[in-house]
Structure 1
Amino acid sequence: MNKVGGYIISFLSFELLLVLFLNAGRYKADPRFAWVPVDLTALFLVLSVAAGVYILIYKDLFFVLDSLKLNFIYFIFVGYVLLSFFWTPGEIYASEKAMYIATLVYWPLLATSIIVSSRTERLKRFIILVVFFSFWIAVETFIAYQQSGGRMVTALGGNYLGIGRVLGPAVLIILGYILYYSRSTILKIAGLGIIGFLLYLLFVVGGRGPLLATLIPISIPLLASIKFESASVIWIKRSFTFLAAVVVLSIASMVYLMNQEDAPATLRRLELLLESNDGMGGSAQARFSYYVTTLELWIKQPLIGYGVGSWPVLVEGTDARGYPHNIILETLFEFGIAGMLIMTTLFVYALRNLGSWKVIQSNPYRLIILMVFANALLNAFVSGDIPDNRFLFATLGLMMLPKTKEDQVEE
């Protein structure tokens, strides 16, 4: 009973509050939570910050100086965002977006870099809770899909893109667990079953970007399973065969299903992108037009950009939420080359702390973090704006996990 109680206490943790905050947009519109008198994003932000402050004051905390440097780089970016108020044409949305960048986006980076990544047990708990949350969304999505008659799915008040962005990280985390940690055949089979279930949902919910953002990072452990011992010796791990089989099976399944009359919604929409005519689909055409317009305007003011919240004003003619659905183009347009350099420095610094490829190959946690980061980054290339991509910045903080003696030896 004490052991069960320990698991419950461990589950009800700072990491749980952080996961619920990061994903509040995926469930807060659900009618079942209408009784909550406050916005759930704000609620879990306050609760997680309060828990984080408690940990910083009353708990022993070990973090490396690199974590503070990472936060300082982001602090510089926030300062530049605020500075851009001097030249932005935006007012209402500009103020809202700047506030989100300084709070909703900064807190995940701060929390994961200072607290979550400081101890292996916290990192492990955070990863497990991400999977638990994803599985809950998956069950809700499956029920909604059964009731939708095969159409694109919305569940818990969230759309298909949001659903896909939640399911993808869970697939990659479970895959990492099967490859590097599980010693039980039963658990491996169960894990494969859950991966199959999640991939099935990614096939049917309708989100092309989230599906590709889940499948592409599988190449990371595939490459990690190959080591060049010398110029003439290549060491291939046993995981290579398993991963290669997963990739081949996934591609074969996609090709087969795409050729069926009742192909899943995601694959039907993906097939449109592969056609040579103009049938890429409305959302893809809209994004392409956004990209072209964004680049054309950015070239006219490339160094400092047009300022925070300027994109919807200059492109759509409205001072309301709007973005080009690509984090690079968004950063260049609103903050110019100067802002892009700060953002690039942030990402490069985090990746350098994650370690060299040799270090990442030898550390399963680092491999899993890299896969999840790649998933979040690929999603940020095709949907959402900077405030929508809070999970991406959380993965940068996870990269601050301290190096072990084995990591240092590898380097």
Structure 2
Amino acid sequence: MVKINYTYQTLILLLLWVSGMFKPFVIAYVADFDIVLFALIIACLDIAFQLGTKFKKPAAEYVLAASVLLGFYFYLIFSNTYSVSSSYALVKTANFVPNLVFFCYALTLKKIDLKLFIWAYCLVLIPLAVFFIYMKSIVWQVDSSATRIFKDLRNYYLSIGLHLGMLSFLVYYYLKRIWLIAALLFLLVASSARAALFLTVLTFMIFEFQKVITFKVKKKILVLAVSTLVFLFAIGALFWDKLSDLLSNSLGRLAVLFSGSDKSSQGRLDAMAFALESSVDSLGTFFFGHGIGSFGMRYLGIDDRAYPHNLFIELLFELGCIGLVMILFVMILTFLRALKGAKLFLVLFFFCFMNAMKSSGLTDLWILFSIMGLTLNQKRIPLLK
């Protein structure tokens, strides 16, 4: 019998994670190629292949959560019957499927080579982040086909910020490369992803609080930190003209956030308030919601993508208490399992969950669903370090 090296599954998992982030850039600058669809097909083929072989029985918590998610999806389909959306409801129903695929891929994973995963993650994420930050710094100063295209891609800082935060935790817990963590945090600041930066720092403070308050400077760490600062100052001196504009833009966004005059945040708060008030219009809407994909029609009068930028409020508005409770059940189950498992899963779950409370819609939770699947089935998935 031929022995299969399952390292390829590590790369498929990474492809799933980064496909959504790369898709708009690939289509805009390379070719009209749907890398997300490609990744989903590859993952589904591998799931089908693994189901035909012997694989470890999934954990009971995973099976329970998968059953609830399946029930949730059938309920989501049913909600199309009373949704005021005639077209986007169907689109949103279809767009939820990747969440399920990301969750299910944890079922047949034989192992995860963490070292390979993290370095490959660095190899694809850092160049994209540098490209994004550079283009953002020149987009209004240089008139070219590349900058004109980029104007439609500026809002993807949310996805890049999420991934930079995720990679920072992976590097901290397993590679322990201080210089790399410093570089990732610098990119996070420069990307203008305020929420991701704030949540990265908050997550670190919560889970490493004991280390923070008892921190003692070691000679090796001090030398490395000073060397890193000297290197960064040298780079800053060489490219100060470009870096000053870049950092003033990024830090300006942070200043606006804390000044209380941020129109983006106010708009999100208005959308949340509307969704909460409309959720109790009647007993029926409180329990069943207004139907999948209905927020755009109810709030903006358009049958298109729109959401209140908070997962729980979105669920309550569109799918009522029933849909909210089903997803809450899966998340609580994941959290309880994470408390008993590897710390990395708990940290990543918390970070992705908090992002979903601020910046994500129901169909954008691919990474969160992947983390939930991995967390619930972690006993069956060896982590090679």
Q: TM-score, normalised by structure 2?
A: 0.78
Q: Distance in 2 between matches of 1:323 and 1:266?
A: 25
Alignment equivalent of 2:324, drawn from 326, 340, 343: 340
Q: Which runs of 5+ in 1 are unaligned?
A: 1-8, 179-187, 227-235, 254-260, 361-365, 405-411
Whichever residue aligns with residue 305 of structure 1, its letter is G
1:324 maps onto 2:316 in alignment: no
1:76 maps onto 2:71 in alignment: yes
Q: Distance in 1 between matches of 2:128 and 2:33?
A: 22
Whichever residue aligns with residue 219 of structure 1, its letter is M
Q: Please provide the CA RMSD for this pair.
A: 3.5
1:45-124 correspondence to structure 2 within 5 Å? 45-58=40-53, 60-101=55-96, 103-112=97-106, 114-116=107-109, 119=111, 121=112
Q: Which moved more, 1:210-219 or 1:51-60?
A: 51-60
- Cα deviations across residues 117-150 of structure 1 (Å, max 9, x unaligned)? x64x456655554444433433433543565589
Whichever residue aligns with residue 372 of structure 2, its letter is L
Q: Distance in 2 between matches of 1:208 and 1:221?
A: 20
Q: Distance in 2 between matches of 1:146 and 1:283?
A: 21
The CA deviation at 1:167 is 0.8
Q: Which runs of 5+ in 2 are unaligned?
A: 230-243, 381-385
1:172 maps onto 2:169 in alignment: yes
- Cα deviations across residues 50-70 of structure 1 (Å, max 9, x unaligned)? 122212223544532322111
Whichever residue aligns with residue 167 of structure 1, its letter is L
1:196 maps onto 2:191 in alignment: no
Whichever residue aligns with residue 172 of structure 2, its letter is L
- Cα deviations across residues 150-172 of structure 1 (Å, max 9, x unaligned)? 99996995621121111110011
1:256-267 correspondence to structure 2 within 5 Å? 263-267=247-251
State whether residues 203 and 264 of structure 1, in contact with CA within 8 Å, keep that contact through their aligned partners in structure 2: no
Secondary structure of the residue aligned to 1:27 is helix
Q: Which has the higher contact order (CA 8 A, sep 6+)?
A: 2
Distance 1:35 1:160, change over 3 A: closer
State whether residues 129 and 191 of structure 2, in contact with CA within 8 Å, keep that contact through their aligned partners in structure 1: no
- Cα deviations across residues 291-314 of structure 1 (Å, max 9, x unaligned)? 111112112132211110010010
- Cα deviations across residues 25-46 of structure 1 (Å, max 9, x unaligned)? 3222225776655422111111
Q: Distance in 1 between matches of 2:188 and 2:47?
A: 34
Whichever residue aligns with residue 84 of structure 1, its letter is S
Q: Which residue does the alignment assign to 1:306? A: 290
Q: Distance in 2 between matches of 1:130 and 1:212?
A: 22
- Cα deviations across residues 341-367 of structure 1 (Å, max 9, x unaligned)? 1111010111222234xxx5xxxxx21
Q: Which residue does the alignment assign to 2:14? A: 19
Whichever residue aligns with residue 97 of structure 1, its letter is K
State whether residues 306 and 335 of structure 1, in contact with CA within 8 Å, keep that contact through their aligned partners in structure 2: yes
Distance 1:127 1:268, change over 3 A: same
The CA deviation at 1:225 is 5.5
1:162 maps onto 2:153 in alignment: no
Distance 1:399 1:201, change over 3 A: same
What's the % identity of the aligned pairs? 23
Distance 1:223 1:57, change over 3 A: farther
The CA deviation at 1:19 is 2.5
State whether residues 192 and 253 of structure 2, in contact with CA within 8 Å, keep that contact through their aligned partners in structure 1: yes
Whichever residue aligns with residue 360 of structure 2, its letter is G
Q: Which residue does the alignment assign to 1:181? A: none
State whether residues 93 and 309 of structure 1, in contact with CA within 8 Å, keep that contact through their aligned partners in structure 2: yes
Q: Which residue does the alignment assign to 1:293? A: 274
State whether residues 28 and 156 of structure 1, in contact with CA within 8 Å, keep that contact through their aligned partners in structure 2: no
Q: Distance in 1 between matches of 2:123 and 2:325?
A: 36
Q: Distance in 2 between matches of 1:198 and 1:75?
A: 37
Alignment equivalent of 2:126, drawn from 124, 135, 138: 135
The CA deviation at 1:401 is 3.7
The CA deviation at 1:374 is 1.6
Whichever residue aligns with residue 46 of structure 1, its letter is I
Secondary structure of the residue aligned to 1:29 is helix
Q: Which moved more, 1:324-333 or 1:158-167?
A: 158-167
Count of residue pairs the alignment pairs up: 346
